[in-house]
Amino acid sequence: GQNIDQPTEMTATEGAIVQINCTYQTSGFNGLFWYQQHAGEAPTFLSYNVLDGLEEKGRFSSFLSRSKGYSYLLLKELQMKDSASYLCAVRDSNYQLIWGAGTKLIIKP
Amino acid sequence: IAGITQAPTSQILAAGRRMTLRCTQDMRHNAMYWYRQDLGLGLRLIHYSNTAGTTGKGEVPDGYSVSRANTDDFPLTLASAVPSQTSVYFCASSDGGGGDYNEQFFGPGTRLTVL
């Protein structure tokens, strides 16, 4: 079967750095996405990785290792507005997205 | 403002009733999707459409039907609602399958409660 694993909840301090991990087992791989979802709102696109390595976008970076079935999202200089759920999704061989359950990130002052 | 709209925002429905959730996008995207999101579970694909006139089944299609008469609209119908269909429903669209990002853009969601 297809499976995406990520921690259920993480806590971090404002101004710090946090890394959210995602491991996956899917039928085929055509890219990995990270989305941010604030409570009661729709998911919004953050980043995309299809090749191994690090993609940097301002305070957010995403890393991929296809051989290990592993990705992480790195958030730097945390702000209170970063409190949200972070969803990892893999595009499979049918070009459909398989979603993890999401990691709820709590930022404390 | 370009984007995706969904209606209604929320609905309480008696079991056995028929209900259509509406979704409209103005980005001229080829592909559209319906997901349900339940606490502790990832988004689960109900149905999708790669282009107008075609539809396909996702992971959890039972009890739901869709149609795609044109590019902009992708309604989801519950023929006879059951309490297990209580969920938040998201409609999404993307430029098409394959190649580059093709990230999905999401509507604001419909919160449905079936009693």
Q: Cβ neighbours of residue B16 under 8 Å, at least 6 residues apart? A: B80, B81
Count of CB atoms situated within 10 Å of the CB of B112 = 20
Contact (CB<8Å) A45/B109: no
Question: Which residue of B9, B23, B37 is the best one to mutate when testing the A interface, meaning the one whose CB has the most A CBs within 10 A?
Answer: B37
* Residue of chain B with shortest Cα separation from A90: B103
pLDDT digits (tens, 9 = 90+) for A31-73: 999 999 999 999 999 999 999 999 999 999 999 999 999 999 9
Q: Which 45-84 residues of chain A touch chain B by CB within 8 A?
A: 45, 48
With 0-12 / 13-18 / 19 or more C-beta atoms within 10 angstroms meaning exposed / middle / buried, residue A15 is exposed
pLDDT for the residue B100: 60
pLDDT for the residue B102: 81
User: Residue B17's pLDDT band (boundaries 50, 70, 90)?
Assistant: very high
Count of CB atoms situated within 10 Å of the CB of B34 = 27
